[in-house]
Amino acid sequence: MKIRRDHEYAHSLEALYALFTDAAEIEAKQEALGARSIRIEECEIYDDGADVRFVRELPADVPGILSKFLQPWNTVTQSEDWRSGDDGRYDAELEIEIANVPVTISGTLELEPLENGCVNHVRMTVDCGIPLVGKTLAEFVGKDCKRLIAEEYVYLTERLDSA
């Protein structure tokens, strides 16, 4: 399943980038999105980008057919490898792993400056190679990813507005 979203913000790219690369902001965002047991394992900022890795438990309203694969709470590890471009953009390679769940989630985040703010181009792919139930599992996880992406956009917009 492919996910494509373009989220525009009426705030600077630098302000948005800071919310993705500051450990306290990451923890606050994850908590606001319903996560628990949040651990920031890496949050290193460099001149040309940042490396971010965090673990949290996320709730899932799991249908019976998928209860063999997903639990009501699942441990999710997210890694973001951010790099700055010469054109003022920031790009991140994104990897998400759900413990003991046979799906792969990967993608990119691209922060692009606009005249009156910036845009985050979110591109993700959710795959599962298991026969029969794999497509259902990937679609369920993808639907949950879409929900979290939408909730994150609302949170980030409100957070930037309050700054």
**For the purposes of burial, counting CB atoms within 10 Å of the CB of 24, is it exposed (0-12), middle (13-18) or buried (19 or more)?**
exposed
Q: Which residue is associated with the tokens 């980030």? A: 156
**Domains of the chain listed by start with CATH number:** 2-162 (3.30.530.20)
Average pLDDT over residues 66-87: 94
Q: Write down the pLDDT at residue 86.
A: 85
pLDDT in tens, 80-94: 999 998 889 999 999
Partners of 82 in the β-ladder: 50, 92
pLDDT digits (tens, 9 = 90+) for 107-126: 999 999 999 999 999 999 99
pLDDT given for residue 12 in this prediction: 95
Short-list 63, 73, 135, 139, CA closest to 100: 73
Backbone angles phi, psi at 151, to 5 degrees: -65, -35
The model's pTM: 0.94
Amino acid at position 153, single letter: Y
- The rounded radius of gyration (Å) of the Cα atoms in the chain is 16
